[in-house]
Amino acid sequence: MDTTKLSELIGLSLNAQQQFRSRWEEMNDDESVFLSSDSSKAILKKLEEKLADNYPFFHPRYAGQMLKPPHQIAMAAYMMAMQINPNNHALDGGPATAKLELEVVAKFARMFGYQNFIGHLTSSGTIANLEALWVAKSLHPQMKIAFTYSTHYTHRRMCKVIGAPYVVLDSFDDLEKKIEEHSIGTIVVTLGTTSTGKFEPLHDILPIARAHGVRVHADAAYGGFFTLLARQKKLIVDPQAFLALNDADSIVIDPHKHGLQPYGCGCILFKDPSVGKLYKHDSPYTYFTSADLHLGEISLECSRPGAAAASLWATLEAFPLEADRGLGLILTKTRQAAMKFSQLISTSDYFLEYTPPDLDIVTYFPRTKLFSASEVSQATEKIFIDLMNHPVHPLYLATLNVDSVSIQKKNPKFICDIPTTKILRSVLMKPEHLDFVPTIFAELEEYARTNIK
């Protein structure tokens, strides 16, 4: 990160706030909030020491979880708006940032092919999905919400929170039969699972759901931005599921993943604007400066940071939602990084790929001499710990527990002596990973030569 440039951008953010404040008469802060410069510096020094206990999320050596710092323009824009501290619940609390939110949400809607819609930002993808499930239950209160075991674990939890009946399907095979058998009212389809990055066949599910009057919610929290790549001339993702998103009843996307944003920033979109009536409520003190629709009137959350909308708006100005530039170019590189790593794994004598990557997550495991679930799990754990604690060039990976039988289906000699197997998982969500993947692979190979038995 160019810290000089960031300092300059932060300076612009601070100056902008000074200009804003200069529009009113001068005032002094109350003595109750006064903090001396020495005290401030001492506190921040302590915080600096405590924050040292973190992994280098900014560096391509970190290829573990779905974590990376926001872009510099996002940081500066967030700070600029944060000093005002607008609340995007109502136009009264954030008139400027509410407009910015409507603008960025409209850009997402266009990316997915929505024409008439209703939607807003949320504090996370989890809350965005909660709203989608709440609407599903409100529209079909007696019918079940269905999803597969690949779906994020929070869907089950959220169904319990809102008291919605649900069913977990083993797959979407024989879907017509399952719809009738389980009395399904809404199907959740995941585009970009958090475990392997796989996307479920939305394009195949939609026609069956429509024929039976079943709603479809697309959880594209992780994979949604890859819709941009589905419109490239030279395809590097399977476009079918992404191009079907315009027919889903609702869509969730997480800008704090591939949208270069700070936590937390999610987004929920509904294709049918009439679902807004479900949010109707009375607030005798909140809405009074405008007859226009307030974001709080179409959201389960109340207070939300307007700074998140400002940050996202500035980022999309710098990196537009286009296939071959802006965010599309960044995602092209993360996808290419996964493809390159996958190809390198295929040449290895020490590692096997678990499943080919659909997006930018690669899953693989050590090829142990005694090829069993327990031996592979032990070797995986050792690789994970040892590489992370390497004294010269630490490498940060992640692990994933999978069904042992799923490995055996592709590798008949694999011994399923325990039900689940721990494997390695690398999230290559930084464009810098594209050039760094050979280094990751070389260090894995070097370690394996002397440590995998």
Counting Cβ atoms within 10 Å, is residue 209 exposed (0-12), middle (13-18) or buried (19+)?
buried
Rg (CA), the chain: 24
Name all contacts of 344-353 with Cβ < 8 Å and 24+ positions apart.
344/437, 344/438, 344/441, 345/441, 348/441, 348/444, 348/445, 348/448, 350/444, 350/445, 350/448, 350/449, 350/452, 351/424, 351/444, 351/448, 352/411
Does 381 reside within a domain? Answer: yes
311 & 370 share domain: no
Residue 372 sits in a domain whose CATH number is 3.90.1150.170
| 293 against 325, higher pLDDT | 325
44 located within any domain = no
Judge whether residue 48 has pLDDT over 90: yes
Buried b (16+ CB within 10 A) or exposed e, 407-446: bbeeeeebbbeeeebbbbbbbbbbbbbbebbeebbebbee
Task: Give me the percent of the chain exceeding a pLDDT of 90.
Answer: 89
Say if residue 284's pLDDT is above 80: no
pLDDT of residue 315 exceeding 70, the answer is yes
User: 318-344, pLDDT tens digit by residue?
Assistant: 999 999 999 999 999 999 999 999 999
pLDDT digits (tens, 9 = 90+) for 377-392: 999 999 999 999 999 9
Domain annotation covers residue 231: yes
CA pair distance 231, 226, nearest whole angstrom: 9
pLDDT, position 295: 82
pLDDT at 170 over 80: yes
Last residue of some domain: 298, 318, 338? Answer: 318
Would 198 be classed as within a structural domain?
A: yes
Residue 91 carries which side chain, given as an amino acid letter? L
- The DSSP-derived string for 401-417 is EEEHHHHHHH-TT-B-S
Tokens at 220, concatenated: 């594209």
Residues 254 and 337 in one domain: no
Residue range(s) defining the domain that contains residue 331: 327-451
User: Which residues on neighbouring strands pair with residue 398, listed in sequence order?
Assistant: 425
Tell me, yes or no, whether 104 lies in a domain. Answer: yes
Mean pLDDT of all residues belonging to the chain: 94
pLDDT digits (tens, 9 = 90+) for 131-159: 999 999 999 999 999 999 999 999 999 99
Q: Tell me the C-alpha distance between 307 and 77, whole Å.
A: 8
Indicate the DSSP class of residue 324: S
Q: What six digits make up the tokens of 218? A: 């697309």
Same domain, 312 and 360: no
> Domain check: are 306 and 445 in the same one?
no
Which CATH number fits the domain that encloses residue 135?
A: 3.40.640.10
Is residue 331 located within the same domain as residue 314? Answer: no
In the chain, the percentage of residues whose pLDDT exceeds 70 is 97
- The verdict on 332 and 380 lying in the same domain is yes
Query: How would residue 293 be classed by pLDDT, with cut points 50, 70 and 90?
Result: low
Angle among Cα 323, 325, 329 to the nearest 5 degrees reads: 80
Same domain, 160 and 233: yes
Is residue 302 domain-shared with residue 431, that is, in the same domain?
A: no
Residues 298 and 408 in one domain: no
Indicate whether 77 pLDDT > 90: yes
Same domain, 363 and 411: yes
418 contacts: CB under 8 Å, gap ≥ 6: 373, 374, 377, 404
Number of separate domains in the chain: 2
What are the residues whose beta carbons fall under 8 Å from the beta carbon of 224, sequence distance 6 or more?
112, 191, 192, 245, 251, 252, 253, 254, 258
> pLDDT tier at 291 (50, 70, 90 boundaries)?
low
Least Cα distance to 119 among 245, 300, 390, 261 occurs for 300
Q: Flag whether 215 is in a domain.
A: yes
Same domain, 146 and 272: yes
| CA separation, residue 209 to residues 3, 11, 248 (Å) | 51, 53, 10
Same domain, residue pair 162 and 266? yes
Task: Give 283's pLDDT tier (boundaries 50, 70, 90).
Answer: low
What is the rounded CA–CA span in Å between residue 8 and residue 75? 12
Q: In the prediction, which pLDDT does 280 show? A: 77
Q: Which residues pair with 118 in a beta bridge?
A: 270
Q: Is the peptide bond before 125 cis (omega within 30 degrees of 0)?
A: no
**Confidence bin at 3 (pLDDT 50/70/90):** confident
* Residues with Cβ within 8 Å of residue 369, at least 6 apart in sequence: 375, 453
User: Is residue 440 included in any domain, yes or no?
Assistant: yes
35 falls within a domain:
no
